[in-house]
Structure 1
Amino acid sequence: MLTLPTKQQGVTLIELMIGIVIFAILLAIALPNFSAFIANSNIRNAAEAMQNGLGLARVEALRRNTQVNFSSGVDSSTDSSWAVGCTAASASCPAVIMKRVAAEGSTQAQVATSEVVASTGAAAGTTVFTNTLTFNGLGRVIASTLATADNAVYDISNSGGGTCAVAGGKMRCLRVIVTPAGQIRMCDPALTVSKPTDPQAC
């Protein structure tokens, strides 16, 4: 009587080792791209939060018909933390309406503020803006926190992610611009030269 050979169940040690080697190779290939993805996500989260916070300050100023401050770097001068609050704090208008800490999705993000001439984009000669913008009841930025011919600029980068694309690196650093009229937009400074008609370009 013939006996059929039994089927092998499971995997052999050699098959397991080959699988581990293939997985390690794929992980080594994907890891640099994954690190760049995480760093870019940090920048995007911080920039969107900055834009949302500025929008909140403007809306609260319109809604309450009073001056409302947006202050960046409240935890550290270069991190992505910010706070929105009334200039003249009262029971109906608190000194802190909302606050965001840097640990909320953008721990590595760094923010640099500057003031530029609106018509040319060049650095302003005499600056008023530091890290606080004040919106009035009409939704405009008051002249004591931003000169009427200049824009406030928040440049968001990543401290551990490397060099920004505008300087030849891989990081997609972003910029949030606020005009004296209270318009707020986010853009990509790397697109200024290569694609000047791109809506995302600064």
Structure 2
Amino acid sequence: MRRAAQSGMSLIEILIAIAIVGIVFALGMPAYGTWIQNTQIRTASDSILAGLQVAKNEAIRRNAPIQFKLDGGATTQWRVNPFLDPDGTPIQSRSADEGSPNATITLTPADADTVTFSALGRVIPNADASPTLAQVDIDNPRIAVVADRRTLRMLIPPGGAIRLCDPKVAAGDPRSC
């Protein structure tokens, strides 16, 4: 008597496939963790850039000075306020926990945390005569291998043309600082 042809997979074939998938996942997990942490750097830098652009655009729209202030030391928390009412209700704000809880920032000058935009979109002196924020470096100390970190830098020149760049990229590349 003839046997009918079998279709499908045997238990051994399924176990081998599961083992191969497990090995691939095990090899990819460290890179995935680094990617997630670098994504937090990108999220924080995009948020700060968006906040700076909101402040600049509101200053132009309202034809009045508007300030952008980073709150809380090394966190990525910020708010946008009118120049004459810096402690009042913010126009827009962002909590440090929104998408990038592990990202940290370094400000230049070190004691600066505020930048004020004029009605023309240019950087002007702050109302409280504090130093004007000129540069923000965004990093993530949770990435153990420093070479794997994708630190980003935000430049805020007096003309108001805010720029996000990558300090590790070689000169000549459009992403370089």
TM-score (norm 1): 0.76
- How far residue 70 of structure 1 moved from its aligned partner, in angstroms, is 0.5
In the TM superposition, what whole-angstrom CA distance separates every residue of 1:67-124 from its partner, at most 9, and x where no partner exists? 211011x3x321212111112249xxx6301111223222221111113xxxxxxxxx
Residue 95, structure 1, aligned to residue 77, structure 2:
no
Residue 185, structure 1, aligned to residue 163, structure 2:
yes
Structure 1: 5+ residue runs without aligned partners?
116-126
In the TM superposition, what whole-angstrom CA distance separates every residue of 1:120-148 from its partner, at most 9, and x where no partner exists? xxxxxxx7x5111111222222233446x
* Percent identity over paired residues: 34
Residue 81, structure 1, aligned to residue 86, structure 2:
no
Contact in 2 for aligned 1:87/1:95 (Cα 8 Å): no
Residue 111, structure 1, aligned to residue 93, structure 2:
no
Structure 1 range deviating more: 180-189 or 104-113: 104-113
**What is the match of residue 28 of structure 1?**
26
Contact in 2 for aligned 1:110/1:156 (Cα 8 Å): yes
Distance in 1 of aligned mates of 2:51 and 2:31? 30
- How far residue 178 of structure 1 moved from its aligned partner, in angstroms, is 0.2
Residue 197, structure 1, aligned to residue 143, structure 2:
no
Count, aligned residues: 173
**What is the match of residue 12 of structure 1?**
10
**What is the match of residue 161 of structure 1?**
143
Distance in 2 of aligned mates of 1:80 and 1:9? 57
**What is the match of residue 123 of structure 1?**
none
Distance in 1 of aligned mates of 2:24 and 2:142? 24
Alpha-carbon RMSD: 2.2
Amino acid at match of 1:63: R
Distance in 2 of aligned mates of 1:32 and 1:82? 31
Distance in 2 of aligned mates of 1:163 and 1:54? 30
Distance in 1 of aligned mates of 2:75 and 2:83? 22
SS, match of residue 116 in structure 2: strand
TM-score (norm 2): 0.86
Contact in 2 for aligned 1:83/1:98 (Cα 8 Å): yes
Aligned structure 1 segments of 4 or more residues deviating by more than 4 angstroms: none
Distance in 1 of aligned mates of 2:85 and 2:35? 41
Contact in 2 for aligned 1:142/1:180 (Cα 8 Å): yes
Distance in 1 of aligned mates of 2:142 and 2:58? 35
Distance in 1 of aligned mates of 2:60 and 2:29? 47
Distance in 2 of aligned mates of 1:46 and 1:111? 9
Structure 2: 5+ residue runs without aligned partners?
none
